[in-house]
Amino acid sequence: MDVSQLKAIQLDALKEVANIGACHAATALSELTGEKVMVNVPVIRINPIEEVFSLVAKPNEVVASVLIYFLGDMTGRTLLLFPQEAAWHLTDCLMRQPLGTTKKFGELEESALKEVSNVLTCAYMNSLGDLLGLVVVPSVPSMAVDMASAVLQTVSLEFSSDKDMVVCIETEFRFVEKNTTLYGYFLLLPDPASLEVILNAIHLG
């Protein structure tokens, strides 16, 4: 089985996991930024990775991406994607500076974005692990900031192909005090054996 074969009831179960993960992610962002962060119910899509990229940005627009492998009872890859402006705004929130301050990604900005991406990824993966009683261990994150077409080409090597079907969790984060909304795209591609483990754990295999 691959993710393209998931049925409606299985997608509903994953949506519930995504909702819990998004709430945990919002709590983590609130702690990191010192600001109240709200989330809307995430949108779950099953698409080829190239179609997900087209949702985030045009091929010549810049995106920030953070790739993390996960090990343990489940194995696979995750990719967190932000359009450039959303990534800049998120960096401003993390560094507690006015929106519009960040205009480029230096070492400090990349470090901050890597850290928060790691925290957000762990929020989603820990929610899945806790719900299913499985151990999930993330790898050290690797980051790329480039045109969407270039990042797609790079990560497709990790995901086998830009035609690979992935679970995309689109989440809307609202920073209340700054009155701004950011969109993040969390891509999940479990290895085939791990997808079976996930579905069996929620008694849907």
pLDDT in tens, 51-66: 888 888 898 998 999 8
Going by the DSSP 8-state scheme, the letter that residue 3 receives in this structure is G
Query: Does the domain at residues 3-201 carry the CATH identifier 3.90.1210.10?
Result: no
Write the CA distances from 157 to 49, 150, 152, integer angstroms.
Answer: 12, 11, 9
pLDDT in tens, 2-36: 677 777 777 787 788 788 888 888 998 999 889 99
Question: What is residue 162's predicted lDDT score, i.e. its pLDDT?
Answer: 57
Global confidence as pTM:
0.84
Is-contact 136 72, C-beta < 8 A? yes
Is-contact 173 39, C-beta < 8 A? yes
Q: How deeply is 46 buried, as exposed, middle or buried, from its count of CB atoms within 10 A (0-12, 13-18, 19+)?
A: middle
> Which residues sit opposite 45 in a β-bridge?
168
The structural domains of the chain, with segments of one domain joined by +, span 3-201
